[in-house]
Amino acid sequence: MIIAFRPFKVGDFIEAGGVAGVVEGIQIFSTQMRTGDNKAIILPNSGITSGNITNYSAKDTRRVDMVFGIGYDDDIKKTKDILMELITDDERILKDPEPLVAVSELGDSSVNFVVRPWVNSADFWGVKFDYTEAVKLRFDKEGISIPYPQQDLHLHKVEK
C-alpha cells in the first residue's frame, strides 16, 4: 500500500504507527525512520497502513499555532499590537495567508491570545521558538504580565 499510494517519501517528516520522525527508507515490509533525538525506528508497514499518517512535509507551508496569556489587568489592545508587530518584524512569516492574532479565551487566570502565522515548512520550528522568546522579552519590557496558576491556601486552627 505504501509503495503503491506513496503517502510519504524518503526525507519527509511524518507521524505514523505511534512515532514521529524523518523517513530514511521504505521497503516492502517495513519503513525506517529517525526520530528527532536520533533514534532509529523500524516500523512494519502493516502498522503504518492500519492507522493515520500525518505527513508534515507534504505541503510547502504550515501554520504555527501559539497561545499567550496575559493578566486581566493588562491592556488587551496594546498586547494585540505588540503581537502583530512581532509578526511583522519576522521576515520568515508569510503575508499570505494573513496571520491571525485574536483573543481566544477568558481563562481562569489569564486572557488568552491565539497567534497563528503561516511560514514555509522549513521555518516552522525556528519561528515558533524565536517568536515565543521575543514575546516573553517584549512583554517583560512593556510590563505585560504572564500569569501562572496559583492557589491560596487558608489554614484554620481547630482547638480540641
- Kindly give the confidence (pLDDT) of every residue in the chain, 160 residues in length, as a single tens digit, with 9 standing for 90 and above: 676 668 899 999 999 989 999 999 999 899 999 999 999 999 998 888 888 999 999 999 999 999 999 999 999 999 999 999 999 999 999 999 999 999 999 998 999 999 999 999 999 999 999 999 999 999 999 999 999 877 778 888 888 7
0.85 surpassed by pTM:
no
The Cβ-side half-sphere exposure at 129, using a 13 Å CA radius, reads 4
Phi, psi of 142 (to 5 degrees): -90, 0
Are residues 10 and 71 located together in one domain of the fold? no
Domain that holds residue 90: 61-142
Phi, psi of 47 (to 5 degrees): -70, -30
Domain boundary among 55, 79, 99: 55
Q: Give the H/E segment covering residue 3.
A: helix 2-5
Are residues 134 and 65 located together in one domain of the fold? yes
CATH code, domain carrying 25? 2.30.30.60
Domain boundary among 28, 55, 82: 55
Are residues 66 and 134 located together in one domain of the fold? yes
Domain boundary among 55, 73, 89: 55
Give the integer Cα–Cα distance in Å for 95 and 160.
70
Whether residue 76 lies inside any domain: the answer is: yes
Q: How many distinct structural domains can be found in the chain?
A: 2
Are residues 122 and 91 located together in one domain of the fold? yes
Cis peptide before 44 (omega within 30 of 0): no
Are residues 113 and 89 located together in one domain of the fold? yes
Which pLDDT score is estimated for 47? 87
Are residues 66 and 136 located together in one domain of the fold? yes
Which pLDDT score is estimated for 4? 66
35 and 21 Cβ atoms separated by less than 8 Å: yes
Give the integer Cα–Cα distance in Å for 111 and 80.
11
Are residues 19 and 79 located together in one domain of the fold? no
Give the integer Cα–Cα distance in Å for 112 and 105.
5
Are residues 48 and 67 located together in one domain of the fold? no
Whether residue 133 lies inside any domain: the answer is: yes
